[in-house]
């Protein structure tokens, strides 16, 4: 496989992942970003821990989607991340959207 083929493959995988993200983002209430991954989830708990002077973060999430092109199954019931870097958590705004086929009464 040439480097161009590999680059084209990775670009296609990133585009497919973005499309999947766009399709599922409305199902989740939070975005969580760590130094290694990006998650969508419906429940998140971040706790700062101190062990011998070292501060780390224990992040527990449930009902998750993981941004990772190499992961065959991106949905997970629960995810736990332990990290020494900052964790960014954002609550997503719920939009007033209508699913196809639904009617308003």
Q: How far apart are CA 87 and CA 38, in angstroms?
A: 10
Range with the lowest mean pLDDT among 40-44, 60-64, 101-105? 101-105
Mean pLDDT of 9-27: 94
pLDDT at 105: 46
Check whether 15 has a pLDDT greater than 70.
yes
Q: What is the pTM for the complete model shown?
A: 0.80
In a domain, 17, yes or no: yes
In a domain, 41, yes or no: yes
Q: How far apart are CA 45 and CA 39, in angstroms?
A: 13
In a domain, 100, yes or no: no
User: What confidence category does residue 101 fall into, taking pLDDT thresholds of 50, 70 and 90?
Assistant: low
CB of 80 within 8 A of CB of 47?
A: no
Q: How far apart are CA 63 and CA 43, in angstroms?
A: 7
Structural domain of 12: 3-85
Range with the lowest mean pLDDT among 24-33, 73-82, 96-105? 96-105
């Amino acid at each position: 496989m040439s480097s161009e083929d590999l680059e084209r493959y990775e670009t296609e995988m990133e585009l497919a992942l973005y499309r999947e993200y766009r399709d599922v983002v409305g199902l989740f209430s939070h975005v969580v970003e760590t130094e290694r991954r990006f998650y969508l989830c419906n429940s998140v708990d971040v706790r700062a821990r101190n062990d011998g002077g070292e501060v780390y973060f224990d992040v527990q999430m449930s009902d998750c989607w993981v941004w990772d092109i190499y992961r065959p199954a991106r949905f997970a019931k629960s995810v736990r991340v332990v990290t020494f870097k900052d964790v960014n958590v954002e609550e997503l705004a719920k939009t007033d959207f209508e699913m196809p086929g639904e009617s308003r009464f």
